[in-house]
Amino acid sequence: MSETELRKRQAQFTRELHGDEIGKKTGLSALMSKNNTAQKEAVQKYLKHWDGKTDKDAEERRLEDYNEATHSYYNVVTDFYEYGWGSSFHFSRFYQGESFAASIARHEHYLAYKAGIQKDDLVLDVGCGVGGPAREIARFTGCNVIGLNNNDYQIAKAKYYAKKFNLSDQMDFVKGDFMHMDFEENTFDRVYAIEATCHAPKLEGVYSEIYKVLKPGGTFAVYEWVMTDKYDENNAEHRKIAYEIELGDGIPKMFHVDVARKALKNCGFEVLVSEDLADNDDEIPWYYPLTGEWKYVQNLANLATFFRTSYLGRQFTTAMVTVMEKLGLAPEGSKEVTAALENAAVGLVAGGKSKLFTPMMLFVAKKPKEAEASPDTSKKATQ
């Protein structure tokens, strides 16, 4: 199927599944207004790739169908993410006494600072979700942001929120696959990506597109999801954790940190910063909201968030969604989605505790001033 046909079909499917009035309802109330048949199809399209098979063929199929697989994944998890986490779909570090929202915002500010984003810069947000980070970074720096996303539902939501918070003049959200960007070469002053490029079937593919659209001398800053140096692909326990993360988070293949670093270099980037922000002595670990350990809760205002993200809260949500599905209030397949998200939570905590995985491998990379726009990565080492 051509790129244009795929886009048309995905846009039409979004209307069927979520209706025309996207934005007003969020979380579980949005879940209650889905089209039943379309939801069943979306869940099936997502889960068909994660049927327990970890052999090379199954992996190859996931990599080939990355666009539809992630589109379907975010079609069915976005309402749960907003209900449980908010409108920034990423992790962060926590300081003692810091609220959940402050920690999420600080993580975004830090990336904007490391990318060197200035007032009036034109910035690309690769894999922008429903625009939580774009809104925060636009307010923080005064820059203009274009959010790129292949999920129509999230784009409609991001546009709705930008209008609601009077930020439409500073930002726009466009549909596109980050493996094949439609922007002109040398367009953006800065590019950032937060926990999104791990959905790529090949990191060189997305990084080379970023290199192409970035102006010479511009910087790209990313929080990458990778398996760390401790990870051994041939260790069954390690592979189980990586698979749980892939399944629960709609990722075709979790790559090793070296793959990401090499991919940046192969694309022509000069890597300025390469630091795992999770590799530290923080008293409160980044994965704490998913552990259900009350001792870490920072303040009373965070109790509701903490309950929803904790093991107990997740079981409660699953039970509630099961009843809602039985009563016909939630669409069929919603229960399966909560089960897949449970896998995500378990895999992420196991990966975090063992330090086999990090969701915050910070890379800051520069496109040299004298750079050619399109790197030829075809002759370089492959992943």
Ligand X SMILES: C[S@@+](CC[C@H](N)C(=O)[O-])C[C@H]1O[C@@H](n2cnc3c(N)ncnc32)[C@H](O)[C@@H]1O
Ligand Y SMILES: CC(C)=CCC[C@@H](C)[C@H]1CC[C@H]2C3=C(CC[C@]12C)[C@@]1(C)CC[C@H](O)C[C@@H]1CC3
Judged by the rule CB under 6 A, the positions of this chain that interact with ligand X are: 67, 70, 74, 88-90, 127-129, 132-133, 148-151, 154, 177-179, 194-196, 199
Amino acid making up residue 90: H
Q: What is the DSSP string of 311-366?
A: HHHHHHHHHHHHHHHHTTSS-TTHHHHHHHHHHHHHHHHHHHHHTSEEEEEEEEEE
Q: How many CB atoms lie within 10 A of CB 323?
A: 12
Task: Give which of ligand X, ligand Y, none residue 285 binds (C-beta under 5 to 8 Å, depending on kind).
Answer: none
Q: DSSP state, 275?
A: E
Q: Nearest approach, Cβ of 201 to ligand X (angstroms)? A: 9
| Minimum CB distance to ligand Y smaller for 16 or for 342 | 342
Amino acid making up residue 119: K
Task: Assess 349 for contact with ligand Y (CB under 6 A).
Answer: no
Q: DSSP state, 383?
A: -
Alpha-carbon gap, residue 173 to 166, rounded angstroms: 15
Q: Nearest approach, Cβ of 370 to ligand X (angstroms)? A: 29
Helix and strand totals (H; E) in the chain? 14, 7
Residue nearest to ligand Y (CB): 84
Report the site for ligand Y in 218-277 (rule: CB under 6 A): 225, 249
Q: Nearest approach, Cβ of 127 to ligand X (angstroms)? A: 3
Burial of 251 (0-12, 13-18, 19+ CB in 10 A): buried
- Residues in binding contact with ligand Y, number by CB under 6 A: 20
Q: Nearest approach, Cβ of 249 to ligand Y (angstroms)? A: 4
| Minimum CB distance to ligand X smaller for 78 or for 228 | 78
Alpha-carbon gap, residue 276 to 289, rounded angstroms: 20
| Minimum CB distance to ligand Y smaller for 110 or for 380 | 110
Report the site for ligand Y in 176-215 (rule: CB under 6 A): 195, 198
Among 45, 49, 71, 90, which residue interacts with ligand Y (rule: CB under 6 A)? Answer: 90
Burial of 246 (0-12, 13-18, 19+ CB in 10 A): buried
Q: Nearest approach, Cβ of 73 to ligand X (angstroms)? A: 8
Task: Assess 366 for contact with ligand Y (CB under 6 A).
Answer: no
Task: Assess 84 for contact with ligand Y (CB under 6 A).
Answer: yes
Q: x/- contact string, 299-338, with ligand Y (CB under 6 A)? A: ---------xx----x--x--------------------x
Task: Give which of ligand Y, ligand X, none residue 309 binds (C-beta under 5 to 8 Å, depending on kind).
Answer: ligand Y
Amino acid making up residue 140: F
Task: Give which of ligand X, ligand Y, none residue 72 binds (C-beta under 5 to 8 Å, depending on kind).
Answer: none
Q: Nearest approach, Cβ of 176 to ligand X (angstroms)? A: 6
| Minimum CB distance to ligand Y smaller for 80 or for 212 | 80
Alpha-carbon gap, residue 227 to 121, rounded angstroms: 33
| Minimum CB distance to ligand Y smaller for 341 or for 371 | 341
Question: Which residue, among 213, 224, 248, 189, has the nearest Cα to 50 in the 3D structure?
Answer: 248
Q: Cα separations (Å) of 259 from 133, 135, 249?
A: 26, 31, 20
Q: How many CB atoms lie within 10 A of CB 163?
A: 11
Question: Which residue, among 74, 66, 73, 365, has the nearest Cα to 192 in the 3D structure?
Answer: 365
| Minimum CB distance to ligand X smaller for 128 or for 337 | 128
Among 46, 50, 89, 255, which residue interacts with ligand Y (rule: CB under 6 A)? Answer: 89
CA atoms within 13 A on the CB side of 223: 24
Q: Nearest approach, Cβ of 147 to ligand Y (angstroms)? A: 16
Task: Give which of ligand Y, ligand X, none residue 74 binds (C-beta under 5 to 8 Å, depending on kind).
Answer: ligand X
H/E stretch holding 63? helix 56-64
Task: Give which of ligand Y, ligand X, none residue 14 binds (C-beta under 5 to 8 Å, depending on kind).
Answer: none
Instruction: Please name the residue that has the structure tokens 């003692």.
Output: 96
| Minimum CB distance to ligand Y smaller for 149 or for 309 | 309
Task: Give which of ligand Y, ligand X, none residue 314 binds (C-beta under 5 to 8 Å, depending on kind).
Answer: ligand Y
The residues of the shown chain that bind ligand Y, judged by CB under 6 A, are 80-81, 83-85, 89-91, 195, 198, 225, 249, 308-309, 314, 317, 338, 341, 344-345
